[in-house]
Structure 1
Amino acid sequence: MNDGISVAGLGVELDGARILTDVTAELPQQRVAVIGANGSGKSTFARALNGLVRPSEGSVHVAGTDVGREPRRARERVGFLFSSPDAQILMPTPAEDIVLSLKAAGVARADREERALAELARFGLAGRADQPAHSLSGGQKQLLALAAVLASGPRVLVADEPTTLLDLGNARHMGDLLIEGDVRGPVADQVVIVTHDLELAARCDVVLRFADGRLAEQGEAGPVIDRYRAAYA
């Protein structure tokens, strides 16, 4: 599979504990939601898509890359957005944080400052380029984390519970960016969103539901979400 995500017989064991078992999925869709109860394995699955977690069995191919065999290339092609931006913001100011991402992506030194300001402007943060990053609001921090991930131009974006720590307005804004993109177009060729927000999941093209470390169901958003809700009614 040259494009999209292809997972075959994926198993993950960490510190002697079985986390994922025999997960198989073909995902050509642009917007993919991953749902399930806490501890179901959905975040481990997400991390396996860009090499943050290595498969114990099976294979993971994303954007034409064998993630298990080429983890460095996978991380170049697959950006990862964590639920807490504080875990992802590494530099004192927003501008410096974006410059760091551009440096890692191989952008020429002479071009980094201008590119960084353009990336910040894209997410409404240009006026805060030199402000201490720790003083940003929660929503602004998450936008900065997203800008830093996208600055390197990943083909696939994996977002692990990106709205969990946001208020309603910022959560909606983040959801709109991930699903609809902005004036530049989609934020990535393919977006995978791990979420407990079923309204956000319902906007995706396909939904994967995890349970007890297995892929319990995959299909159109409406029916999968309805059955998930019914299970906890």
Structure 2
Amino acid sequence: MNTTAPAASPGIALMNAGYSVDGRVILSELSTTLVEQRIGILGRNGSGKTSLLRLIAGLIAPTTGAVTVDGLRPEKDRREMLSALGILFQNPDHQIIFPTVEEELAFGLRQQGRSAAEAQAAALAALAQHGRSHWAKASVATLSQGQRHFLCLLSILVMEPRTILLDEPFTALDLPTQIRLTRQLAALPQRLITITHDPALLAGYDRVIWLENGRILRDGPAKPVIAEYKSDMTRLGASDADADLPR
């Protein structure tokens, strides 16, 4: 696995992008360009964060406007997107599809067009680089939650995408695993876009976007946006925090 930084990424553009299901608006009028190295998407549960991740990744198509990732349409340019964008879901069991570690690692490389031999060699090299050569033939079912999470991250890194989306990356991980994953993520040269409801995860980030009811409520440097978000969440916590949600 190449340890050098991937080629520079032009960024992710949302142009009046929106998403609706059966007449219900989930995301609305999102217009911004994401170019910073560390970007947080912050918001309460139900604010549209995961839908935004899925929109950027091309897992759903915008019903209004458009989204581009490095000039590509993510919902259409599927193969090219493998080098542009990787996704680490909060539940590794929603991401892993093969029975053994080396098969899981080789899959994305095969999708990129590498031969079976090239993909296996790259998978084994990645495991060796991280001191996990003994994982190669292991059944994924024998790995712990944290180990499966790391496998998912490694399966992204071997494809060397320019941007990585992280969906609540520390959900269900114990504290030592969180610390290890934090260290690993901090060292990556890729652009990271972290989707979370926890502002503590975004300390030190370049930029934070606060999403509320499917719209951008605040967007700017991390520190002031996080401070305002925490203040508002404290206010909501002192009352009926869900009273503003639809009945």
Kindly provide the amino acid, as one letter, of the partner of residue 19 in structure 1.
I
Q: 1:118 matched to which residue of 2?
A: 125
What is the TM-score when the length of structure 1 is the normalising length? Answer: 0.90
Q: 1:47 matched to which residue of 2?
A: 54
Q: 2:197 matched to which residue of 1?
A: 196
User: Are positions 1:56 and 2:57 aligned together?
Assistant: no
Kindly provide the amino acid, as one letter, of the partner of residue 151 in structure 2.
L
User: Are positions 1:160 and 2:190 aligned together?
Assistant: no
Q: Is the 1:63–1:156 Cα contact (8 Å) retained in structure 2?
A: no
Task: Out of 208-217 and 72-81, give the one that drifted further.
Answer: 72-81
CA distance in 2, matches of 1:75, 1:100: 12
Match of 2:137 among 118, 130, 155: 130
User: Are positions 1:88 and 2:98 aligned together?
Assistant: no
Deviation at 1:173?
Answer: 1.9
What is the TM-score when the length of structure 2 is the normalising length? Answer: 0.85
Kindly provide the amino acid, as one letter, of the partner of residue 204 in structure 1.
Y
Deviation at 1:102?
Answer: 1.6
Task: Out of 119-128 and 109-118, give the one that drifted further.
Answer: 119-128
Q: 2:206 matched to which residue of 1?
A: 205
Task: Out of 111-120 and 33-42, give the one that drifted further.
Answer: 111-120
User: Are positions 1:16 and 2:23 aligned together?
Assistant: yes
Q: Is the 2:140–2:148 Cα contact (8 Å) retained in structure 1?
A: yes
CA distance in 2, matches of 1:87, 1:152: 19
1:25 to 1:136, Cα distance in 2 relative to 1, 3 A: same
Deviation at 1:64?
Answer: 2.3
Q: Runs (4+) of structure 1 moved beyond 4 Å?
A: none
Q: Is the 2:82–2:159 Cα contact (8 Å) retained in structure 1?
A: no
Task: Out of 11-20 and 68-77, give the one that drifted further.
Answer: 68-77
Q: Is the 1:120–1:144 Cα contact (8 Å) retained in structure 2?
A: no
CA distance in 1, matches of 2:183, 2:60: 28
Q: Work out the percentage of aligned pairs sharing the same amino acid.
A: 35
Task: Out of 158-167 and 114-123, give the one that drifted further.
Answer: 114-123
1:66 to 1:224, Cα distance in 2 relative to 1, 3 A: same
Kindly provide the amino acid, as one letter, of the partner of residue 208 in structure 1.
I
Alignment of 1:73-112 (within 5 A): 73-112=80-119
Deviation at 1:174?
Answer: 1.7
Deviation at 1:66?
Answer: 2.9
- 1:35-73 deviation line (CA, Å, top 9, x unaligned): 100010111111111201110111112122133553553
What RMSD, in angstroms, separates the aligned Cα atoms of the two structures? Answer: 1.7
Kindly provide the amino acid, as one letter, of the partner of residue 65 in structure 2.
G
Count residues in correspondence: 226
CA distance in 1, matches of 2:42, 2:83: 25
Deviation at 1:197?
Answer: 3.1
Kindly provide the amino acid, as one letter, of the partner of residue 55 in structure 1.
P
Q: Is the 1:50–1:71 Cα contact (8 Å) retained in structure 2?
A: no
CA distance in 2, matches of 1:200, 1:78: 21
CA distance in 1, matches of 2:32, 2:50: 16
Deviation at 1:75?
Answer: 4.6
Deviation at 1:76?
Answer: 4.4
CA distance in 2, matches of 1:175, 1:196: 16
Q: Is the 1:123–1:143 Cα contact (8 Å) retained in structure 2?
A: no
CA distance in 2, matches of 1:94, 1:115: 13
Q: Is the 2:79–2:112 Cα contact (8 Å) retained in structure 1?
A: no
Kindly provide the amino acid, as one letter, of the partner of residue 12 in structure 1.
Y
Secondary structure at the aligned position of 1:55 is classed as coil
